[in-house]
């Protein structure tokens, strides 16, 4: 099958540490190519067209936003609207051109906006079927746009041949919002094998907690820092927290760590590569997902892949999945105090005791399963 993947998220190079969402699009495309499909990927144009590994063709649409991710750009900035308009116009033109030149049979739009707009254009002008794969941040941001946000989502979903979402609750939200049937399709990727221990492992040693994600209020990195501050001194002394990411809250988080006197407990770092992430995950005691709002983040399946249990807030699908499978610990509510209580529970539990639950859940959260589901091969 000749597949055209349109996305606003794609790593600028294979180990780009800032391309979180784009990494699982790349993995999805690679898995499709490995199964004998011809795959064209159309990202936002941060670099010229090139032939990637396994024969993937990367042909970007012109992009005036520089190194910025579309999802991180404020809708309140008038200049950003000029960037958006240019990207929409050039993206539609590029989509029609690529569909025609490569005799595309099916388009996969990651995500609803703006990629769904390009897929819709191909459907209306060239009658090429398109699927939409929605993210939580994608839907939540667009539906808040006054006057036409919800309308745009409904139009895109109505004309799509199939609609997917990367969360179970999100799929229900999409159905309720747009009146269109929506299926769950997990977002995941393959991490490289770990080859370096990041922490010394000794009986009675420190419990190493890891946070990897955007430094954004939705992801709750400040809640994790405040949760550590809630712990008694003796408990806090048994913990080390390493945080990796990028985003608007970074300087605020560094200041918060200093204000709470946690410099010896919490390290706020920049983004890390996939190899570094694999090394840290393999060495960490738990991955912490302190989000205020969430679907099922990619880091969840990343942790499962490396056999690392999770401590999470009870948001999106995470609470139900973790409780049912036993792959980690869930806080009772979204607050620093509740997260601190969950962390104290983790201190009394061996990492290996979660192994069965981790393995069980990962069977559903891997890229091979996702590609088979999209191709209609899963039972």
Residues 6+ apart with CB under 8 A from 303: 281, 287, 309, 310, 358
Residue with tokens 């209609």: 376
Segment 72-95, tens digit of pLDDT: 677 677 787 888 888 889 999 999
Specify the pairing of strand 266-269 against strand 239-244: parallel
Residue-wise pLDDT for 119-145, tens only, equals 999 999 999 999 999 988 788 888 888
With beta carbons less than 8 A apart as the criterion, state whether 346 and 322 touch: no
* CATH code reported for the domain at 2-186+367-375: 3.40.50.2000
pLDDT in tens, 361-372: 988 888 998 999
Nearest Cα neighbor of 257 from 229, 230, 218, 286 is: 229
Rounded to whole angstroms, the Cα distance separating 328 from 318 reads 10
**Domain residue ranges in the chain:** 2-186+367-375, 207-362
d(CA 169, CA 181): 13
Closest CA to 52 of 71, 34, 66: 34
* Lookup result for tokens 């990207």: 87
Q: What does 159-207 look like in DSSP terms, one character per residue?
A: H-SEEEESSHHHHHHHHHHHS---EE-----PPPPP-S-SS---TT-PE
Does 109 or 138 have the greater pLDDT score? 109
* Angle (deg, nearest 10), helices 149-159 and 115-126: 50
Q: Check whether the bond before 23 is cis (ω within 30° of 0).
A: no
- What is the reported pLDDT for 379? 43
Instruction: Determine how many CB atoms are found less than 10 A away from the CB of residue 53.
Output: 10
pLDDT in tens, 320-364: 999 999 999 999 999 999 999 999 999 998 888 999 999 989 888
The reported pLDDT for the residue numbered 84 is: 82
Instruction: Give, for 237, the enclosing helix (H) or strand (E).
Output: none
- Can 2-186+367-375 and 207-362 be said to share one CATH topology? yes
Q: Phi first, then psi: what are they for 333, rounded to 5°? A: -155, 170
- pLDDT tens for 175-206 read 999 999 999 999 888 899 998 888 755 445 78
**Top-ranked range on mean pLDDT: pick from 41-55, 70-84, 204-218:** 204-218
Answer yes or no: CATH 3.40.50.2000 is held by domain 207-362: yes
| Lowest-pLDDT range of 6-20, 75-89, 147-161, 250-264 | 6-20
Comparing C-alpha atoms, which of 377, 332, 324, 327 is closest to residue 356?
Answer: 327
**Cα–Cα separations (whole angstroms), residue 149 to 24, 48, 177:** 26, 31, 11
- Residue 16 to residue 25: CA distance in whole angstroms: 13
Give mean pLDDT, residues 7-35: 83
What does pTM read for this prediction?
0.84
**Over 80: is that where the pLDDT of 290 sits?**
yes
**Mean pLDDT, rounded, for 59-72:** 73
Query: What whole-number distance in Å separates Cα of residue 328 and Cα of residue 100?
Result: 48
């Amino acid at each position: 099958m000749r597949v055209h993947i349109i996305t606003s998220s794609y790593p600028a190079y294979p180990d780009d540490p800032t391309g979180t969402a784009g990494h699982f699009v790349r993995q999805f495309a690679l898995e499709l190519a490995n199964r004998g499909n011809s795959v064209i990927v159309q990202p936002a144009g941060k670099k010229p067209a090139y032939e990637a590994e396994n024969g993937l063709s990367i042909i970007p649409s012109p992009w005036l936003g520089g190194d910025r991710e579309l999802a991180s750009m404020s809708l309140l900035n008038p200049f950003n609207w000029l960037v958006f308009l240019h990207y929409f116009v050039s993206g539609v033109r590029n989509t029609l051109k690529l569909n025609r030149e490569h005799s595309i049979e099916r388009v996969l739009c990651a995500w609803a906006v703006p990629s769904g707009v390009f897929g819709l254009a191909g459907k209306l002008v060239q009658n090429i079927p398109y699927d939409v794969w929605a993210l939580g941040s994608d839907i939540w941001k667009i539906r808040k746009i006054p006057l036409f946000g919800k309308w745009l989502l409904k139009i895109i979903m109505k004309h799509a041949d199939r609609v997917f979402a990367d969360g179970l609750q999100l799929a229900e939200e999409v159905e309720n919002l747009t009146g269109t049937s929506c299926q769950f399709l997990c977002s995941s990727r393959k991490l490289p094998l770990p080859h370096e221990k990041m922490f010394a492992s000794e009986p009675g040693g420190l419990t190493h907690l890891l946070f990897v994600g955007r430094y954004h209020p939705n992801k709750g990195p400040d809640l994790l820092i405040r949760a550590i501050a809630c712990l008694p001194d003796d408990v806090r002394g048994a913990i080390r927290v390493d945080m990796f990411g990028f985003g608007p809250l970074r300087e605020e988080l560094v200041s918060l760590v200093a204000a709470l006197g946690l410099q010896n407990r919490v390290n706020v770092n920049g983004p890390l590569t996939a190899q570094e992430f694999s090394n840290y995950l393999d060495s960490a005691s738990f991955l912490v997902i302190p989000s205020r709002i969430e679907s099922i983040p990619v880091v969840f399946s990343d942790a499962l892949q490396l056999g690392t249990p999770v401590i999470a807030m009870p948001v999106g699908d995470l609470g139900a999945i973790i409780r049912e499978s036993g792959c980690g610990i869930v806080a009772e509510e979204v607050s620093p105090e509740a997260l601190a209580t969950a962390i104290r529970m983790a201190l009394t539990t061996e990492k290996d005791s979660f192994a069965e639950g981790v393995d069980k859940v990962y069977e559903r959260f891997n890229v091979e399963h996702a590609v088979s589901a999209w191709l209609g091969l899963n039972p």
